[in-house]
Chains A and B, each alone.
Chain A
Amino acid sequence: MLAYLRASPALAAAFGPPSARALGQAMAGIARDAGGPAAEALARAAADASRRLRSAERFGAWLEIVERLAGLAPESLEALLERTERLLETLDSENLLAWALSGIRAAGGDPERRRLFFRFDDPVAGRWLARGGGSTPFSLLERRLKIYVTALWGQNLVVRAAGVTAGELPRRTSFDENFIRVPEVFPGVPDGQSAALFRAALAHAAAHLHFGGSRFPIGSLKPLQIALVSLIEDARVEQLAIDELPGLKRLWLPFHEAAAGGALTAPALLARLARALLDPTFVDGHAWVEKGREMFLAECARWADPAISRAIGSLLGNDLGQMRVQFNPRTHVVEPAYRDDNLGLWDFGDQAEATGEAETIIQSARIEQAQEREAPPPERERQDPAQAASHESPAPRRLKPEVVEDVGIPVAHYAEWDYLIGRARADWTTVLEFAGRTGEPAMIDRILERQARLVTRIETLIRSAKVSRPVRLRRQAEGDTLDLDACIAAEIDRRLGQAPDPGLYSVLIRRHRDLSSLVLLDISQSTGDEVPGAGASVLTLEREAATLIAHAMAKLGDNFALRAFCSDGRAAVGYHLIKDFAEPFDRRIFSRLAGLESRLSTRMGTALRHAGAELDGQRSHRRLLLIVTDGEPSDVDVGDHKYLVEDARHAVLELGHKGIDVFCVGLDSGGDNYLARIFGRRSVLQIDRIEHLPEKLPMLYLRLTA
C-alpha cells in the first residue's frame, strides 16, 4: 500500500489518473496471484516503466503483460519486475511478452528453471534478450564485420561477441592485444543503423590497436583523469585514422549527439568534448570544452605520440575536478556508443585497489576472463554449419575417465621380422585397442580458431582440389572434339594408302577422388618433450597438425581414419582409435584428439601392420597410410635398435605389396638414416622445424592425393 502511495502521484502526473488507477488494480491482482513482494516490486517498476514508455497506452500494455505473466509464472514475477529498466531498454512491450513467453516455454513447467531464466542466471535469457531488441545482433553481421575490420589495416584480429557478464550484457566494445569483444547487440539502435554502429565500434578499436602505443600505466591518476586521458587517446587515434581513411569521419560523426548547453555533469561534458575534438564545426561555447579542443589541436603535429593523450588528459582532468562536477566511475559509460570501454588502454599493474574505477574495471575484466577460460565459449569463430549446429546442442561434458578406456582390448597378433635370422617370428606381437581417452573438445576449437588463417588457406586449396583437374584423353574413337594431331596422322596414312587409326577424337574427363587414408600418430613418451622455440610439446603440434589435416579431409569428403600408437613391450602395442572411417569429424572426435597423452615407446612395425590391415578393408582405388613420428622405433624389450628398424621396413614392404601407399613425416632432424631405410627415400618428408608441422601436413596430404 505504501509502495502504491509512493508510486502513484508521479504516475498520475505523467500519464493522468487512469494510469494510476490501473496500476492500483494490477497491484491488487498481482498481490493475489504472486504475493505481496511482487506487488511492491510492481510499484517500484512502474516508476522505471513510466520513464521508459513515455505514453499512457504503452504503459497500459505493459501492465497487461505483467498481469498475464503473474498468472503464468508467479514465482518469477518479482525477479522480472526488478529488471524492468533493463528489459525495457532493449524491448518494446510486444517483444517483452515474446521474450518472457519463450523463457516460460523453455522452462517446460519447471518453476526453478523459470526463476533462473528471469534472474538472468540462465545465459539464454541474455542472449534472447539481445536478439529480441529489434536491433540486428552481432552474430548476424559477424562475418562481414570481421572482413571489414581486417580490410582497414590488415590486422589479424579475433573479433567475438562478448558474453553476458554477471547477468549484465556489456554495453561497450572492449579490446586487448588478442581480442576485440563486441556487445551482442547495442540496445535501442534502429535496425538500419546497427551495422554502421558495429562498424564504427570495430574501426575505433582497430584504430586503437593500429595507432596506439603500449598501455598507459595507471600510476596515481584519479578516475576522472583516467576517463579524460582515454577520451583524448580516443580522439587522437581517430584523427590519425581519419588522416589515412577520411571516410571514417563520416562513419563516426553521426554517433556524436552531444549538444551544447544543458546540465554541467561530467558525462555530459565528456561527451561534448568528445564531439568537439572530432567535429571542427561543433560550437560548444563552454570554456572547458573549448580549452580541451585548443590544447588538442595545438598538439596536432605530435598526434603520433600517445604521450600527449596522457598530458592533455590529466590537465583537463584537474580543471574538471576543480569545477566540482560529479563523476561516478562505477556508473560511467563511455559515450558515444561506438567507443570502447577503454580497458585496453590501461596497465593496471598490481595495484588493484588503486582507484574505484580500476577496481570495477578489473573485476569485470576478471569475470570476463574467467568466463573465457570456463567451458567452450559460445561465440566461436564461424565454422561450417554442421559443426556450428552440433555446437548449439549441449556440448558433451567432460566425462570422468572410465575404467574401460584405460584397458586395451587385444585385437590381433602380428608376426615380427627378425633380420638376424632372416625370417618372421609368427604371432610375436599383440595389439591392444584403446577406445581413446577423452579430453576437452574446446581445445580443438581453439586450435581451429588460432590457425584461422591456415584453415582458410587450406579451404581455398580444397575448393580447387575437390574438382579434380580435367584430363584430356587423346586418340579416342569418340569424343567432343577432333584431335588435330591424330587427324593429320590419319590423313597422312590415308594418302599413303594405309588404313588410318580410327581414334580421331579427344575428350575431357574429370577423375573423381577415390581414396581412403589413415593418419597414424606416434604418441610415445618422447612426444611429450618441448620443442625448443615453439613453446609446445611435439604432441601438441601433432595434435594441431592432425586437427588441420582432418579438417581438410573432412571438407574434401575423403574417407579417413585417425589413429595413434605407443607400445609397452611386444605384448602390449597400444593402438588408440581416434576416428573411424565411418565416423563424422565432430565434437566426439575433438574430445578424443584432445585426450591424447604422450606415453611409452615406439614399436612402429606392428602399428603399421595393424593400420595396414584396417586400410586393406577399405574399398577404394587408392589407400594411403600417413604416419607422423618423432623418433627411431624402440621398445622396452628390445636392445638391438636395428631390429625394430628392419621390422618396420619389412612391414612397409608388405603394405606395398598390398597396394597401400605409406608415407612418413619425420620430426627428428637426425632421422635421415633410419627413416629412409624404413620407408624409402621418396616416401619420407623430414620436417626440420617441427613448429611448421601443422602447416605442412595438410599441404602434404593435398599434394599426395592431388
Chain B
Amino acid sequence: MTIDDYRIEREPYYRPQGDEIALFKAAYASRMPMMLKGPTGCGKTRFIEHMAWQLGRPLVTVACHEDMTASDLVGRFLLDATGTVWHDGPLTLAVRFGAICYLDEIVEARQDTTVVIHPLTDDRRILPLEKKGEVVEAHPDFALVISYNPGYQSVLKDLKESTKQRFGAIDFLYPEPDVEAEIVAHESGVAKDVAARLVAIGRRSRNLKGHGLDEGASTRMLIYAGRLIAQGVGIKAATKVALVLPITDDADVRDALDAAIAACV
C-alpha cells in the first residue's frame, strides 16, 4: 500500500457549522497538532476527511483501541525468507510522506502507547524508531490530528496531561436544528421537512443524556433513519430501527422514547 492509496479523490460532503474550517486551515498552516472534541456521530471524522481533501493531503486514519501497542503505530520487523524486514506502521508512513495522521478515539488507546506521538507534537517534529535505530524527520506537510470524546469515560480513560497540552482543540457539537436538518436531508435524500422532524426527534433523545441514556441520538443515526425513510419505510418504523433500538435496552427508556417520538410526528 502506498501513500497515494490514502488520498481522497472526491469531495466529502461537509456542512460547516461555524468557523472551524478557517481555524483548522490556520492551524495546519503552522502544523499545529489538533484535537477534535465532541460526541460520537457529530461529524468529526467527516470534517477531517473534508479538510484532507481541501488541503490535498493524504489522510491516514488509525482507529485506536486499548490493545494497541506502540509498534502498531510506528511499525515492526517482520520476517521473510532471508531475514527480517522493517514495515512502517501507519504513523511512520504519514510522517515520512507528509500525510495527515488521524488518531480516532485516542482515549481508547493506553496512555503509555500514546506517548510515542510526543516527539512529533512539539517543535522537534521527529519520530524515533527505536527498534530500527532510525530517527524519521517529519515531512513538512505532516500533521497530526486526534479525536477525543470526553463523555462518560473521562474519569477512567483520559489523556495524560502532557499529551493534552500538545494540541489545539476544536469543539464539535451537534449542529443547530436547521443546519442539522440540511445535513440529514443531503446525506439521506429525504425531504427537508422530514429531515426537520428527524432532527426534532433527535433533540428529544439528546434531552435524555444523563437521564437514562449515556448519549443522545447522533447526527449519523438521524441520517440512517432518513435513509430508511428514503427507502420507503414509515417514519415510526425507521426511527425505531435506527434511533431507539440501537441506543438502549432499557424497556422504560424505550417506551419513553417511543412516546416522545410519537409527540414529534
Contacts and interface: CB of A to CB of B under 8 A. Distances in A.
Interface in B249-265: 251-253, 255-257, 259-265
Given A453-B210, A457-B210, A488-B78, A152 B260 contact: yes
Contacts of A484: 76
A488 B77 contact: yes
Interface stretch (B25-33, B137-145, B161-169, B199-207): B199-207
Interface stretch (B2-10, B95-103, B151-159, B223-231): B151-159
Interface residues of A, number: 41
Interface string A433-472: 0000000000000000000010011001100110001101
B62 interface: no
B210 A145 contact: no
Interface residues of chain A: helix, strand, loop or mixed (majority): helix
Nearest to A196: B259
A452 B214 CA distance: 15
Nearest to B204: A151
A682 interface: no
B135 interface: no
Contacts of A495: 83
Interface string B82-125: 01100000000000000000000000000000000000000000
A247 B263 contact: yes
A485 interface: yes
A397 interface: no
Given A147-B212, A461-B156, A245 B76 contact: no
B67 interface: yes
B156 A465 contact: yes
Interface residues of B, number: 38
Interface string B223-252: 000000000000000000000000000011
A150 B261 CA distance: 13
Given A247-B265, A464-B153, A488-B84, A469 B66 contact: yes
A699 interface: yes
Interface string A80-94: 000000000000000
B1 interface: no
Contact of A147 (B155, B211, B263, B265): B211
Contact of B208 (A150, A245, A247): A150
Contacts of A150: 207-208, 211-212, 256
Contacts of A146: 211, 256
Contact of B264 (A246, A492, A508): A246
A491 interface: yes
Contacts of B152: 457, 460-461, 464
B22 interface: no
Contact of A144 (B69, B78, B256): B256
Nearest to B214: A460
A251 B258 CA distance: 13
Interface in A90-149: 143-148
B79 A488 contact: yes
Contacts of A153: 207
B71 interface: yes
Considering residues A143, A472, A495, A508, which has the most beta carbons from chain B within 10 angstroms of its beta carbon? A143
Interface of B: 66-67, 69, 71, 76-79, 83-84, 152-153, 155-156, 200, 203-208, 210-212, 214, 251-253, 255-257, 259-265
The 3 closest A-B pairs by CB, nearest first: A154-B207, A147-B256, A148-B256
30 contacts: A144-B255, A144-B259, A146-B256, A147-B257, A148-B256, A150-B208, A150-B212, A151-B208, A154-B203, A154-B207, A199-B259, A245-B200, A246-B264, A247-B264, A251-B262, A453-B210, A456-B211, A456-B212, A457-B152, A460-B152, A464-B153, A464-B156, A465-B156, A469-B156, A484-B76, A485-B71, A488-B76, A699-B155, A702-B156, A706-B156
